[in-house]
Amino acid sequence: MKYLVLSDLHGSLYHYQRIKEIFSFEEPDKIVMLGDFAHYYGIDEECRKELSLLPIKPIAIEGNCDNGCGNVPEMTYQGEIYWEDDFSRHLLFTHGDRYNISNIPLSLDKGDVLIYGHTHMGGLVYKNGVFIANCGSLSNPRFGFQSSYIVIDDDGIYLKMSENNKILEKILFSDYK
């Protein structure tokens, strides 16, 4: 299984269009969008059209800027958190305004993965036995961070630049047994 994880597009049509290119390069089995699809007012028709052109329907997590985005038929809406059991571990996908590196859910065990966005600053860390991945922002990175996304596969977690798909950081699961 291979996941493509994106966050914080904030209604940028250019970056909605960019998802198709990233998808073609990465060829994931699932796309998970970690919220802030819009900027308080919902997703406009042009962005929704771009979502409808994707080969698979993204799984959507609600962000703090997503008022009214739960009814977008081009995505499978999951609310505030989404759990997956894959790679012999639990994956918890969330926006990041509630759960993040400073507030790791107690339900996560050693080897589990917390994936979030919200801060617009990508990074990977292994903390207290939990893999923590912030995918950054596709459209509006902050404080000198690159526009980024995350790929998760059987081997590990990869933070990648959205403009050229190059790896910025990686954590291999086999390095932490």
CA distance 141 to 36: 13
d(CA 171, CA 123) in angstroms, rounded, equals: 10
State pTM to two decimals: 0.93
Q: Hey, which bits of the chain come out as E strands?
A: 3-6, 30-33, 59-60, 76-77, 81-86, 89-94, 113-116, 123-127, 130-134, 148-152, 156-161, 167-172
Q: Which residue has the tokens 């703090």?
A: 64
Residue appearing with tokens 């961070």: 145
pLDDT per residue as tens digits for the range 63-117: 877 776 666 778 887 878 888 888 789 999 999 999 999 999 999 999 999 999 9
126-160 pLDDT, tens digit per residue, is 999 999 999 999 888 788 888 999 999 999 999 99
